[in-house]
């Protein structure tokens, strides 16, 4: 049993939600991306967002602490966030990152705080992109609320107690939403036996190691940390910033040795991390099938097609 909301009542519904904290939703400018919403009318649910809301949980660059002689001040994470219009793949990507940053061996207190204070309200994809293959990736209904477009109404599925409280005043409604099918599929089983095959050399022939596949990916989370000091070396700040496993210096260690020297090593590692190594540790794939790394790769490298061709 779900709930029904008239489309004309959406603004009022979101206005009320915004009183709890920052409302973050897709906005269409030259592309569609998640932004903090000041004007609810600017929200655009039509296109699948080019960028996921990852930056609101793991910012591209942030100062995590400042130091001044022996005084250290840590960054404070405050306030609640409501993410509205997030697609099921991106919701699952956050839950996959939770495995590392909340349930993992070294929890990240900043990430944990941001995630704890978040309400996730999803929106169903009406027309998946040609590069989407989320149906192959065992996505789960791990949201607070999930909206389906039904003409003059939204049908709302309730996924948590937190979500249930937000819609308690709306009318009950029973509906079995039609799930949209993706054209693209991934046959993950084929990956297992082919670590040494020359398919990886072929696939990486046109890779330029730009790292865009990492930045666009809703579940890529690798980062680097460095201290930025002033000239006295006594004051400064510790900065955390996204990194990319496609950069040569990502695995460089003292003495200059690089563990993954070639583009083939690096791209192959990314695919195996997404579809095998992460699963070995957390029993889930790290990839959620959003297809962004294929759509936005400047060389149009398609790892799904390459894996599906393996025999
Ligand atoms: S986006 Fe494409 S070209 Fe750039 S590093 Fe990734 S696979 Fe290589
Ligand atoms: S399809 Fe590509 S961008 Fe999307 S989750 Fe999988 S690896 Fe990341």
Which one of the ligands is nearest to 220 CA?
2
Q: At a CB cut-off of 8 Å and minimum separation 6, what does 195 contact? A: 268, 272
| Pocket lining: 204 vs ligand 1, CB cutoff 6 Å | no
Report the nearest atom of ligand 2 relative to the CA of 270: 7
pLDDT at 310: 84
Residue 31 has pLDDT above 90, yes or no: yes
Would the pTM of this model clear 0.85, i.e. be above it?
Answer: yes
Q: pLDDT band for position 108 (50/70/90)?
A: very high
Is the shortest distance between the CB of 220 and ligand 1 below 6 Å?
Answer: no
CA–CA–CA angle 33, 209, 129 (5° rounding): 40
Say what the pLDDT of residue 178 is: 83
- Going from the C-alpha of 20 to that of each of 23, 27, 91, 122, 277, the distances in angstroms are 9, 20, 20, 18, 39
Mean residue pLDDT of the chain comes to 94
Compute the distance between CA of residue 78 and CA of residue 73 in angstroms, rounded to an integer.
15
CB contact at 8 A, 34 and 52:
yes
214 C-alpha vs ligand 1 centroid, how far in Å? 8
Candidate from 34-43, 178-187, 245-254 with smallest mean pLDDT: 178-187
Mean pLDDT value of segment 94-101: 98
- Cα distance between residue 141 and residue 271, in whole Å: 25
Q: Which residue's C-alpha comes closest to atom 4 of ligand 2?
A: 290
Q: Which helix (H) or strand (E) holds 242?
A: strand 235-242
Q: How far is the CA of 17 from the centre of ligand 1 (A)?
A: 39
Q: Which ligand is nearest to the CA of 209?
A: 1
Tell whether ligand 2 has an atom less than 6 A from the beta carbon of residue 218. yes
How many whole angstroms from 32 Cα to the centroid of ligand 2? 18
Non-local (6+) Cβ contacts of 96 within 8 A are 219, 278, 282, 284, 285, 286, 288
CA 178/CA 184 separation, integer angstroms = 18
């Amino acid at each position: 049993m779900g709930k029904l909301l008239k489309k004309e009542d959406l603004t009022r519904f979101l206005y009320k939600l915004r009183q709890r904290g920052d409302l973050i939703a897709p906005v269409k400018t030259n592309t569609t991306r998640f932004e903090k919403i000041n004007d609810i009318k600017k929200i655009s649910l039509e296109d699948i967002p080019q960028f996921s809301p990852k930056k609101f949980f793991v910012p591209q660059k942030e100062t995590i602490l400042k130091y001044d002689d022996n005084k250290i001040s840590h960054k404070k994470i405050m306030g609640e966030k409501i993410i509205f219009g997030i697609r099921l793949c991106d919701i699952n990507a956050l839950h996959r990152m939770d495995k590392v940053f909340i349930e993992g061996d070294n929890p990240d207190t900043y990430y944990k705080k941001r995630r704890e204070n978040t309400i996730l309200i999803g929106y169903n994809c009406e027309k998946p992109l040609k590069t989407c293959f989320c149906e192959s990736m065992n996505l789960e209904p791990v949201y607070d609320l999930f909206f389906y477009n039904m003409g003059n109404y939204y049908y709302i599925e309730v996924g948590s107690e937190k979500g249930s409280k937000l819609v308690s005043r709306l009318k009950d409604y029973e509906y079995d939403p039609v799930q949209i099918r993706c054209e693209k599929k991934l046959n993950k089983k084929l990956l297992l036996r082919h670590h040494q095959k020359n398919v990886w050399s072929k696939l990486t022939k046109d890779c330029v190691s730009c790292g865009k596949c990492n930045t666009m990916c809703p579940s890529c989370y690798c980062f680097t940390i460095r201290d930025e000091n002033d000239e006295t070396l006594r004051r400064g700040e510790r900065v955390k910033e996204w990194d990319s496993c496609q950069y040569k210096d990502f695995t460089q260690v003292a003495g200059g040795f690089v563990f993954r020297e070639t583009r083939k090593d690096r791209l192959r590692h990314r695919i195996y991390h997404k579809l095998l190594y992460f699963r070995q540790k957390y029993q889930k794939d790290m990839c959620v099938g959003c297809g962004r790394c294929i759509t936005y790769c400047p060389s149009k490298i398609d790892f799904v097609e390459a894996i599906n061709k393996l025999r």
